[in-house]
Structure 1
Amino acid sequence: MTALPRIAYTIGDPSGIGPELATRVLSDPGNLAKAVVHLLASRAEVEHWSAELGVTVPVGDEPGPGHVVLVHTPHADEEVPRGTMSVAGGTRVLTDLLHALGMYKSGTVDAILFESLNKTALHLAGMHEQDELRWFAKELEYDGFTSELNFVPGLTTSRVTSHIGIKEVAENINARATRDAITLLNEAIKRNGVAEPRLAVCALNPHAGENGQFGCEEIDHIAPGIELAQKSGVSVEGPFPSDTIFIKARNGIYDGVVTMYHDQGQIAMKLMGFDQGVTVQGGLPVPICTPAHGTAYEIVGKGVAKVGPSQRAFNIACNLGLSSQGH
């Protein structure tokens, strides 16, 4: 019998909808049957969230299926303003994530799942990196290629560049980075259950540069990167104009698309599946998953937050956690 994946689950920003969503996911017996879950929260917090939602989250003393094990976090039970960005919220997020990373390093868990966070709160709480992916890489002392991977049902994307200004995008595209984004995407899709992924790569310029009339990045960097990936055995095609490739991907021709910058892929992905979107911190030695939406401060406590993205993030964390066992 395959061992169950061991998941470190954090509530994200306690001022947002994260506690509600984590509670809903963990009140489902089906979820607790397919993973060993370590929840970074106190018993009083779990009881409060469960009572508010009218559900039950089973809690046990030893790791195992059918219940969660609570992990002490220094900022549990602290009063945090609900429905608004706060330094306290950002501090709880960073502290919990540091503890979760420590659990991975010690071999206690196979994957990490965190609920939504607020980047401004993180920066106010002391995060100096441009985003959480770079922060994770620093804390893990990892200097390899990383990229956020975005999942909606049937399609996954990676990026050659991410959280940088548009004017900086072209100068950060090269053959090696393109190849690395392709390779990372290919491996992630395989680990999530697709044996032979079919990938496409976006162009940077309109009409894929029109043979150099609108830019030469496709000729000089993107196509050579695709060729490098093909030589290593990846099934990948392109570069294709980004205004049409997602139509083919939506129709099932491709399992994954490599984009050149953040919004080139995110706009398409959120139109196709905002209520099912999941982000994976790709390239790191530990699988780290989160729902793709934000903290949704405006609906905290109203009971209307949709659990779909958190449920899919949990499922993906389980799949990736299984494949990372024995790290």
Structure 2
Amino acid sequence: MSDRPLIALALGDPSGIGNELAIKALSDEETFEGADWLVIGDRRMWQLGEEQAGTALELPDFDPAHFDRAAFLDLAHAEMDAIETGTSSMAGGSVALANFDLALRLAADGAADAVCFTPFNKHAMRLGDPSYVDEIGFIKRAIGTDVSGSEFNVLDEVWNARVTSHVPLSEVAGLITEERLLRAITLTHQTMEGAGIANPKIGVAGLNPHAGDGGNFGTEDDNIIAPAVKKAAEKQFRVDGPIPSDTVYVRALKGEFDAVLTMYHDQGQIAMKLIGFDRGVTLIGGYPFWIATPAHGTAYDIAGSGEANPGATIKALQLASRLSRRSNPDGFAEAADRLANVRALAASARDAA
């Protein structure tokens, strides 16, 4: 048995700062020592990242018979002439999708204990695959599951969960149901307990201004959110709400809540990025393995400059390692015993790309 998890790190959008971030994060000694690493991408993109970061991090090509701590799985699939730094493209989106897909399938196959990825650009992803909506839908398709996981934004101070995610604001109110709320509260509780936060306190944000103000500004808070919170409390979850969304984070930062459950994407994202933009991690829970990435985007405006801050990427990689250890207290199978099938999966990924 090994005391280190094996994490599949998929390189994200090649036109953004992801290659640079991966180099810088794995150059951090504490991060590197926390796990074994299988980096998935195109070797030419990795070399570009080394140039951008001003740091050489030589990883051997993946060989299942001689894997030792870290390796690079080269899909050699990037259309280099069609990828321009700082610009979204179909070629860039296709590369990121192929990397992520393989990392997910490796984890589903048991070869990896967790998946991490550097930032994606959703416009590029949709150019690469018009059916792409968001990471949750892609994960379900890649690993062949009907389970809908959920994204959590994680800071040391507070977690953020949400009932709806990547949907138009005009559709949010119609998607707020007691069933969805109870499912979100339950998954938040289970995921945080899995991360070592016992019996977390969850503050549920209201949907409307002043949480509806008794029906003056909408009825969803009184008619849907409040009953769902009551039912969750009856199930012994530590939950309170609906709480006006303009004060719920103030209360959380004072220690009243470990997590805030918001009704829609930006209701929580704005607050979390103001609190800790360079430290935030997006954690995807609800699947047999953890998935983590920095909470910020591809930063096309500084791509290639060498200025990318790896703080959130380091946090994401370390969180995935820590959660994997907690999920597997008895240790991990040796890498050599579970990497034999990687080449076959990689070959199919190359063919698909």
Does TM, scored on the shorter chain, surpass 0.5?
yes
CA distance in 2, matches of 1:115, 1:223: 38
Contact 2:278–2:309 (Cα < 8 Å) also in 1: yes
CA distance in 2, matches of 1:213, 1:143: 39
Contact 2:6–2:112 (Cα < 8 Å) also in 1: yes
The alpha-carbon deviation at position 313 of structure 1 amounts to 0.9
Give the aligned residue type for 1:99.
Answer: L
Of 208, 211, 220, 1:217 maps to 220
Runs of 4+, deviation exceeding 6 Å: none
The alpha-carbon deviation at position 231 of structure 1 amounts to 2.8
TM-align CA RMSD: 2.2
CA distance in 2, matches of 1:191, 1:317: 12
Identity of aligned residues (%): 39
For this pair of structures, how many residues does the alignment match? 325
CA distance in 1, matches of 2:219, 2:288: 34
- Does the alignment pair 1:258 with 2:249? no
Going from structure 1 to structure 2, the CA distance change for 1:235 and 1:300 (only over 3 Å counts) comes to same
- Does the alignment pair 1:72 with 2:77? no
CA distance in 1, matches of 2:42, 2:76: 10
Contact 1:289–1:316 (Cα < 8 Å) also in 2: yes
Give the aligned residue type for 2:305.
Answer: K
Of 186, 196, 208, 2:211 maps to 208
Structure 2 counterparts to residues 126-275 of structure 1, below 5 A: 126-275=129-278
- Does the alignment pair 1:11 with 2:11? yes
- Does the alignment pair 1:312 with 2:315? yes
Aligned partner of 2:111 in structure 1 is 108
- Does the alignment pair 1:20 with 2:2? no
Contact 2:14–2:45 (Cα < 8 Å) also in 1: no
Going from structure 1 to structure 2, the CA distance change for 1:211 and 1:42 (only over 3 Å counts) comes to closer
Structure 2 counterparts to residues 267-286 of structure 1, below 5 A: 267-286=270-289
Q: Which moved more, 1:31-40 or 1:144-153?
A: 144-153
2:246 alignment partner, SS class: helix
- Where in structure 2 are there 5+ consecutive unaligned residues? 334-353
Contact 2:229–2:241 (Cα < 8 Å) also in 1: yes
Contact 2:290–2:324 (Cα < 8 Å) also in 1: yes
Per-residue CA deviations over 1:184-232 (Å, capped at 9, x if unaligned) read 1222222223223111101112222222232221222212222232233
CA distance in 1, matches of 2:190, 2:313: 22
Contact 1:46–1:57 (Cα < 8 Å) also in 2: no
Going from structure 1 to structure 2, the CA distance change for 1:40 and 1:255 (only over 3 Å counts) comes to same
1:242 alignment partner, SS class: coil
Contact 1:45–1:77 (Cα < 8 Å) also in 2: no
Q: Which moved more, 1:226-235 or 1:163-172?
A: 226-235
Per-residue CA deviations over 1:87-109 (Å, capped at 9, x if unaligned) read 11101001111111121122110
Q: Which moved more, 1:292-301 or 1:125-134?
A: 125-134
1:37 alignment partner, SS class: strand
The TM-score, its normalising length taken from structure 2, stands at 0.85
Contact 1:74–1:95 (Cα < 8 Å) also in 2: no
Give the aligned residue type for 1:72.
Answer: D
- Where in structure 1 are there 5+ consecutive unaligned residues? none
Q: Which moved more, 1:281-290 or 1:86-95?
A: 281-290
Contact 2:165–2:264 (Cα < 8 Å) also in 1: yes
Aligned partner of 2:124 in structure 1 is 121
Contact 1:202–1:245 (Cα < 8 Å) also in 2: yes
CA distance in 2, matches of 1:298, 1:319: 32
CA distance in 1, matches of 2:202, 2:67: 39
Aligned partner of 1:92 in structure 2 is 95
The TM-score, its normalising length taken from structure 1, stands at 0.91
The alpha-carbon deviation at position 48 of structure 1 amounts to 4.8
Contact 2:292–2:319 (Cα < 8 Å) also in 1: yes
1:40 alignment partner, SS class: strand
The alpha-carbon deviation at position 279 of structure 1 amounts to 1.2
Going from structure 1 to structure 2, the CA distance change for 1:41 and 1:141 (only over 3 Å counts) comes to closer
Give the aligned residue type for 1:73.
Answer: L
CA distance in 2, matches of 1:142, 1:154: 32
